[in-house]
Amino acid sequence: METLRKSIFTGWNFMRLLRLAIGLIAAYQAFELQNGLLGILAGLFVFQALDNATCCGTSACNTAPRKQNSGKTENVEFEEIKGK
């Protein structure tokens, strides 16, 4: 129970707040329009915000950081190929 509470109340960033705001706005609209499909979508956004989950799940979309260039340039040799 403590882990769940800790994951909900820590680690908030802009994208997590944005997902929560979109979810709450969509939930309000779903209630006003009595639209169940929009309510399901709102629930998904609120769940993602509270659980800090993304569409990628386990950060599968995460990319490796760029390697720092040491400032050295590498000479590349080209060979001209002529057609028949």
Task: Confirm whether 69 is domain-assigned.
Answer: no
Q: Give residue 28's pLDDT.
A: 97
Q: Which structure tokens are listed for 8?
A: 């909900």
Among all chains, which residue has been given the structure tokens 């590498």?
A: 74
Distances (CA, A) of 50 to 15, 55, 62: 12, 14, 20
Structural domain includes residue 75: no
Report if residue 12 sits inside a domain.
Answer: yes
Total domains in the chain come to: 1
pLDDT in tens, 24-67: 999 999 999 999 999 999 999 999 888 887 766 555 566 666 77
pLDDT for res 33:
95
Which residue shows structure tokens 């709450």? 24
Its domain, for residue 20, covers 2-51
Q: How far is CA 59 from CA 15, 25, 39, 46, 53, in A?
A: 14, 26, 26, 19, 9
Let me know if residue 46 belongs to a domain.
yes
The structure tokens listed for 80 are 């001209």
Residue 3: the pLDDT is 79
